[in-house]
Chains A and B, each alone.
Chain A
Amino acid sequence: MSVVDRPLASPGYSEADSYPTHHFLNHSHGILSWALTLDHKRIGLMYLVGVMSSFALGGLFALMIRIHLWNFQDGWLSNKTYNQVFTLHGAIMVFLFIIPSIPAALGNFLLPIMLGTKDVAFPRLNLMSFYLWITGLVFFLAALSITGLDTGWTFYTPYSIDTQQGGAVLAATFGVFVLGFSSIFTGLNFIVTINTMRPPGMSWFRMPLFLWALYSTSIIQVLATPVLGITVLLLSAERLLGIGIFDPKLNGDPVTFQHFFWFYSHPAVYIMILPAMGIISELMSVHCHKGIFGYRMIAYSSIAIALFGFLVWGHHMFTSGMADVTAVVFSALTFTVSIPSAIKVFNWLGTMYQGTVSLNTPMLYALAFIFLFTIGGLTGLPLGALSTDMHFHDTYFVVAHFHYVMMGGTLVAFLGGVFHWWPKMTGRMFNDKLGIVSAIIVFVGFNLTFLPQFVLGSRGMPRRYATYLPEFQPLHQLSTIGSLTLGSGLLLALIVLLMSLVNGKKAPRNPWGGATLEWECASPPPHDNFSSAPTVGDPYDFSNIEYDGKTGGYVKRA
């Protein structure tokens, strides 16, 4: 059966239906139709707005920090406020932005469509997950507005037990607890959807790699997040009831807190980066118009990262007084994670080789990802190595490293993904030229911000300090200039996206030439995703996809 043989009822293949008049966005009207929706696409969009707002808030805190650090002393924030600002920057970015960003926003929107189903397995749970996220947000805002949280996003005991900001600690830990459930429910939903709802023809190895990445992410979410739940629950009990499990004054053991915390929070790093890697796999293949190189290795390496990620949490605690043996074991295990990560990077490079690269906005973000993630990954090695970590621990080297991975990796991939699927989500094309400009500014600004921090850190500048030695000032100022550049680049990206809603061209069904299922449904998709059954084929077979000048998009050749 070929595409041409399709019944005429299948819209989109005839020109008139290319731009559907009826789709999920106008399927029903009114605020309630959004607030109570069970449609994964609407939930995904609500998440998208939510995580982007949290990012704006967290980013604002980041700029406050950088501006404060312009001078080596007497910054515009008091030391106390500075502590609160960096804590909230970290906590908001980690719990409210990065963790839900790709899985909950893009994942929710795309997973059922890429899989070829009508919805996720538990639509109500999905909506509940969103409202739990909102609840978590409210608690974070409470922590922010009532007293201000100053423990660092890690809530290390005994400081988090002793700090005067008790109300804020309670509000934030409760927020984290609730956000944890939100994350668990998303992950649980995705695992069940992929396991039980794959339509005929969609075998495991026909799934787009983004789905493999989401599946691996979901495994971590389900396995690791509950431990965070019990950790913050015990921490709240510590504050409320003085249970003493983590309190040295009551003969508790604060190192245990760090074990509990990092058993979640290290795998959580892979919750953040794995979906980003999934996006890059899609972007690389589509914008190089060439099948992904090493499909199975990328798929397996996602699972491997998810599992190895559980073996290495101790490398956050080398200087916490942990036992020598454990430190050595954790250090050795840490290096195993670099293998599957490197497999991915090499496969992406292999995909680009001899491909027809379209240098458009999503692809530029994807290229930026590869560059930044590689730097982030390689600078992780001296941090995983026991001897060098003793020197780098709690310095700006660490700060720069995880920003290269989390921001240069996840955020940049998220932006690339948003640009890539924006036409699908909204039905509008954005201004590609301005988008390219935004990608370049973000890339330059990012490196300007964080490359100096590697130098600062290796020279001994400790993190989380409100003041520093005068000799560090030039590098700090460079970093601050970079952060403002980065901020303006991100603002431009946002403007490009918003402008497309106002005056963007209507998007064709398949603007980039992708072969995965989401490009077979209309842009934006109808309420039930597919008005007729899509063909489940090889998601990376581009041999019969060609450009169609009439619609400005790609079509499948018969």
Chain B
Amino acid sequence: MTAIQDTHIPNHEAGHADDHHHEHPSWLAHHFDDAEQQFDSGKLGMWLFLVTEVLFFSGMFCAYALYRNRNPEVFEFCSSFLNEKLGAINTGVLLFSSLTMAWAVRAAQLRQHQLLVGMLGATLGCAAIFLGVKSVEYSHKWELGLLPGRFYVPQIEGHHGAHHGYLEMLCIVPAIVTVLCAAYAVFSWAIKSTFHQQVSGPLLTAALCFFVGVFLGQYLEAQEEATKGHANHHEHHMSVQGHIDHDSHDHAAASDTHEHDHGSAPAPVAAVASSGGSSDVYVDSKELATPKPNVNKSTMAGLFFSIYYCMTGVHAVHIIGGMIVISWLIVKAARHEFHEQYFGPVDNVGLYWHLVDFIWIYLFPLLYLIT
């Protein structure tokens, strides 16, 4: 090697003579050379994180595709239990929250601090509405016994939609959060701090939005039941139960051969041993009342609801995670921290939020709109 490149790493004391900031501003981490490097690093990091999210969800999409392909009729039947209207409303809400989030990024870049707080608050509110509607959907399904996998016990007897108070249970945490936000809002008005008012206002609004979502969901759910009618639903249910019935033998056989094939050496022994021990978990009291062949029918449908709960549940967890980071952004925005050199956090949380929207864009037609 003849030519050793004597390029020197610019160090911060000497190398930045031609740069604009002679010292690091507070928003620039010490190990970055300049604002753009910091921004690029954060953004690439966030895109990589989104890659992991995409692959994370792909597992569930894989399970979905596999079982839908094997049992299209089960998926079609089960999908009829999902309320399209609620799904569509939630899609709209999420799309709107994506709009406000994208707008928030713009506001951060243009130093529109008030608008930024407003847009972030709107995003947070939409997220809360989404969760409110989702709670209505979940609790409604639980009351119908439409639970995942081995707990799937559809209530095909008369007491359609028996009240178990699931919705109230789901509302407990949001209610506590609302009370805390309200207390914080009162506190912020009492001490007349603009900063605290700017933070507590959006938080309280968003917390209340959850209940808006709950009422919206309940209203639409009631409307749906009024139009469809119970009898109609039942008829549908019963007919498809029969529809699945002729498959059940195949499936039972399949599952048995399966177990036979794939159990590694110790597995079959243990499987037999544990089927006695843990059977009380599998056999619900309601299931006892129904004849034996029903078990297989219900497991087929239960599989759909397993996938439904896994996908929407993990998605909802992501929404909640997003709400926490958006709240953090609201605090920073109320402190007027963002400007055209430092808006990375808003941009990156935005990317995350759009990805959550992105996932829902696929979940909605795949789960709700099977015909």
Contact = CB atoms under 8 A, between A and B. Distances in A.
Given A250-B303, A534-B9, A192 B44 contact: yes
B364 interface: no
B300 interface: yes
Interface stretch (B117-125, B191-199, B264-272): B264-272
Q: How large is the interface on B (under 10, 10 to 19, 20 to 34, 35 or more residues)?
A: 35 or more
Contacts of B52: 184, 188, 222-223, 225-226
A342 interface: no
Given A159-B266, A162-B270, A245 B307 contact: yes
A199 interface: yes
A256 B9 contact: no
Given A156-B262, A462-B265, A1 B6 contact: yes
A401 B62 CA distance: 31
Interface in A379-404: 394
A118 interface: yes
Nearest to A189: B45
A533 B8 contact: yes
B6 A535 contact: yes
A244 B148 contact: yes
Given A122-B45, A158-B259, A222-B48, A83 B266 contact: yes
A163 B299 contact: no
Contacts of A195: 44
Given A200-B9, A251-B296, A242 B148 contact: yes
Given A192-B45, A243-B306, A255-B262, A119 B5 contact: no
Interface of A: 1-2, 83, 116-119, 121-123, 125, 150, 152, 156, 158-159, 162-164, 184, 188-189, 191-193, 195-197, 199-201, 222-227, 229-231, 233-234, 237-238, 241-245, 247-256, 258-260, 320-321, 394, 462, 464-465, 530, 532-538, 541, 543-544
A222 B46 CA distance: 12
16 contacts: A2-B6, A116-B9, A117-B31, A159-B263, A192-B45, A196-B44, A197-B41, A200-B8, A242-B282, A243-B303, A243-B306, A244-B148, A244-B150, A259-B62, A532-B11, A543-B1
A362 B371 CA distance: 65
A244 B303 contact: yes
Contacts of A164: 270, 273-274, 277
Contact of A163 (B1, B62, B256, B270): B270
Given A196-B37, A201-B7, 12 more contacts: A159-B263, A163-B270, A184-B52, A199-B7, A242-B149, A250-B255, A250-B302, A251-B254, A321-B261, A394-B265, A536-B9, A538-B1
A196 B57 CA distance: 28
A164 B275 CA distance: 10
Nearest to A247: B149
B55 A252 contact: no
Given A163-B274, A196-B44, A536-B7, A244 B262 contact: no
Q: Determine which residue in A152, A188, A193 has the highest number of CB atoms from chain B within 10 A of its CB, and name it.
A: A188
Contacts of B6: 1-2, 535, 537
Contact of A250 (B10, B49, B149): B149
Given A195-B44, A251-B303, A152 B270 contact: no
A247 B295 CA distance: 14
Contact of A226 (B11, B55, B261, B273): B55
Contacts of A222: 48, 51-52
A245 B303 contact: yes
A203 B369 CA distance: 51
A144 B275 CA distance: 24
A234 B270 contact: no
A244 B149 contact: yes
Contacts of A201: 5, 7-9
Contact of B149 (A150, A189, A243, A394): A243
Given A253-B66, A320-B261, A242 B267 contact: no
A176 to B, nearest CB: 14
Interface in B48-80: 48-49, 51-60, 62-63, 66-67
A336 B53 CA distance: 29
B20 interface: no
Contacts of A534: 8-9
A532 B13 CA distance: 10
A121 B299 CA distance: 48
B2 to A, nearest CB: 9
Question: Quick one: which of A123, A197, A223, A252 has the most chain B CB within 10 A?
Answer: A252
Given A116-B9, A158-B271, A234-B63, A242 B44 contact: no
Contact of B259 (A1, A188, A242, A248): A248
Contact of A541 (B4, B54, B261): B4
A125 B48 CA distance: 14
Nearest to B277: A164
A394 B277 CA distance: 29
B40 interface: yes
B6 to A, nearest CB: 4
B258 interface: yes
Contacts of B184: none
Nearest to B7: A201
B281 interface: yes
B251 interface: yes
Contact of A192 (B48, B273, B274): B48
B1 A541 contact: yes
B148 A243 contact: yes
Nearest to A538: B1
Contacts of B58: 227, 230
B37 to A, nearest CB: 6
B15 interface: yes
A197 B9 contact: no
Interface in B242-291: 251, 254-256, 258-259, 261-267, 270-271, 273-275, 277-278, 281-282
B69 to A, nearest CB: 11
A398 to B, nearest CB: 13
A226 B49 CA distance: 10
Contact of B1 (A191, A230, A238, A537): A537
A320 B262 contact: yes
Nearest to B261: A321
A238 B8 CA distance: 56
Nearest to A535: B6
Contacts of B56: 226-227, 229-230
A164 B274 CA distance: 7
Interface in B5-45: 5-11, 15, 29-32, 37, 40-41, 44-45
B302 A244 contact: yes
Interface in B167-225: none
